Amino acid sequence: MSISINRRHFLMTSLAAATIGKSRFSRADNSSPSLITPTLNDYLTAQISASALKTNIELIRRELKPTTKLCFVAKSNCYAHGWLQCQDAIKPFADWVAVATPAEALAIRHSGWQRPILLLMASGLTGIISNERLRRLIARDVTLTLADPNDLPVIAAAARAAGRPAQLHLKIDSGMTRSGVMPDKAPALMQQARQQTDVALTGVYTHFAAADEKDKSSAYKQLACFMAAIQASGKNAEGLLRHAAASAATIDLPESHFDMVRVGTAIYGHQPSDEMLRTLPLRGVMRLVSRLTQVKEVPAGRRVSYGQTYGFEKPAKIGLVPIGYSDGYCRAFSNRAMMKVGEQYVPVRGRVCMDQTIVELTGLPDVKVGDAIEIVSPDAAAPNSIENLARLANTITPDIMVGFGSSRIQRVTTT
């Protein structure tokens, strides 16, 4: 009975995960209405530019040799841009797709993507649910990451249950000190995988810790370590798809391209960091817009939002924007960020709330409820760009991007 219940739970959660990127969500049961539909959350919309996405992929392609494959990193629902909004634009260019979780892999395969999918997550979890998950991934031809010798028998058992060999890429920890087998253990694990009849080792990869920094010494050290581990593996490494470069290394370290590069941040239109040796003329892909839900006048001396951290010295006009930290608009933007109404930038006043943010509209007499407001601009030089918001929050652009993955934000494709 417990096996049946666990399996049913797994299948239900996997099916729910397959709605990745969709603007409509199925009802949880017959009595509960859909929580999010386009007609209910059209006041908060992420506009995803297909032309900008295409431009960025073409720019990346020009950095590569014709024989080098491009892996489109679709983690976190394409960095919150939405798989369904991105897939048509990337189809002519992407050879592979990389994801972080099993649910993402199965959802993308379910969407009709027929090319290879790489699951970056290590595959060593055990138990009924984990074994069933692995079996389904193998059955759907998802390439798994082999990161530890103990994972190999687990994957092999799932492959036998699936009735087909598991496709594997061996990950080497060349210095990131995160997932992956230690370099001195890599040759032995590679040999074990080659000898295991229930798996097919088809690739080997690593990940840089500091390729986006001006000082590339750490990246070069990792690169040398990776190459040494491959060389030490001898014939067992022959014919494997080798990959190491993410966005930063793809742009700054062409010697790390090998047989494939894995690009996320740059394809979505953002430089990997402010320390890059080279920059590409990338175009921001996401524009986040909303509408004012209330506009009102407030008297001089009135203070704003939680903690009353901002006060008006003169009579002022304010507007409410239906976005807050629950939607990824960070509390760090309080009293610091800007939005845009028409051609006028307006400042955020007071603390960002969970679901609402207050902006000052003083000097804009014609602004009214329902008027459009641009929360995030795709222009990197704009005060309300992803880049500037990242600086305000003392973080990186992917952190800001994925924050806007809230299901309360509707995603639409634009030209």
Mind listing the pLDDT tens digit for each residue in 370-399? 999 999 999 999 999 999 999 999 999 999
**Do the beta carbons of residue 411 and residue 50 sit within 8 Å?**
no
| Residue 256 confidence (pLDDT) above 80 | yes
- Token look-up 């959660």 returns 13
With residue 72 as reference, give the H or E element that holds it. Answer: strand 69-73
For 14-30, write each residue's pLDDT tens digit: 434 444 544 332 323 33
Q: For the chain, give the percent of residues with pLDDT over 90.
A: 88
pLDDT of residue 46: 98
Average the pLDDT over each of 18-22, 170-174, 248-252, 360-364 and give the range with the smallest value.
18-22
CATH class of 11-20+50-263: alpha beta
pLDDT digits over 40-99, tens only? 889 999 999 999 999 999 999 999 999 999 999 999 999 999 999 999 999 999 999 999
pLDDT of res. 41: 84
For residues 260 and 73, the answer to whether their CB atoms sit within 8 Å is no
Structural contact between residues 203 and 166, judged by C-beta atoms closer than 8 angstroms = no
CATH for 286-377+379-414? 2.40.37.10
- The SS3 of residue 204 is strand
Alpha helix locations (H) across 180-306? 186-195, 217-232, 247-252
Q: Which helix (H) or strand (E) holds 321?
A: strand 316-321
Residue range(s) occupied by CATH 2.40.37.10 in the chain: 286-377+379-414
- Mean pLDDT of the region 154-174: 98
- Indicate the pLDDT class of residue 5, thresholds 50, 70 and 90: very low
Question: 123, 149 in Cβ contact below 8 A?
Answer: no
> How wide is the angle at C-alpha 373 spanned by C-alphas 367 and 374, nearest 5°?
150
Residue 364 confidence (pLDDT) above 50: yes
Residue 392, helix vs strand vs coil? helix
Within 10 A of 34 (CB to CB), how many other CB atoms are there? Answer: 12
**Residue closest to 191 by CA, chosen among 223, 152, 135:** 152
Q: How many CB atoms lie within 10 A of CB 293?
A: 13
Quick count: other Cβ atoms within 10 Å of Cβ 365? 8
Residue that has been written with the tokens 């960095």 in this structure: 79
> What's the pTM value of the predicted model, to 2 decimals?
0.91
Res. 39 pLDDT band, cuts 50 70 90: low
Order of all β-strands in the sheet with 316-321: 294-298, 316-321, 357-360
Partnered with residue 294 across adjacent β-strands are: 320
> Which run of H or E residues covers position 6?
helix 2-17
**What's the 3-state SS for 83-105?**
HHHHHHHHCCCCCEEEECCHHHH
Residues identified as active-site: 75, 306
Q: Which pairing describes strands 372-376 and 286-291: parallel, antiparallel, or unpaired?
A: antiparallel
Q: For the CA atoms of 377, 379, 385, 391, what is the dihedral angle to 10 degrees?
A: 180
CATH 3.20.20.10 residue ranges of the chain are 11-20+50-263
Query: Distance of CA 235 to CAs 31, 144, 156, 171, Å?
Result: 60, 22, 22, 17
pLDDT confidence of residue 289 = 98
Taking the C-alpha atoms of residue 187 and residue 341, their distance in angstroms, rounded to an integer, is: 59
Q: pLDDT-based confidence at 10, cuts 50/70/90?
A: very low
Q: What is the dihedral of CA 26, 27, 28, 34, to 10 degrees?
A: 110
Q: Of 11-15, 81-85, 199-203, 301-305, where does mean pLDDT reach its minimum?
A: 11-15
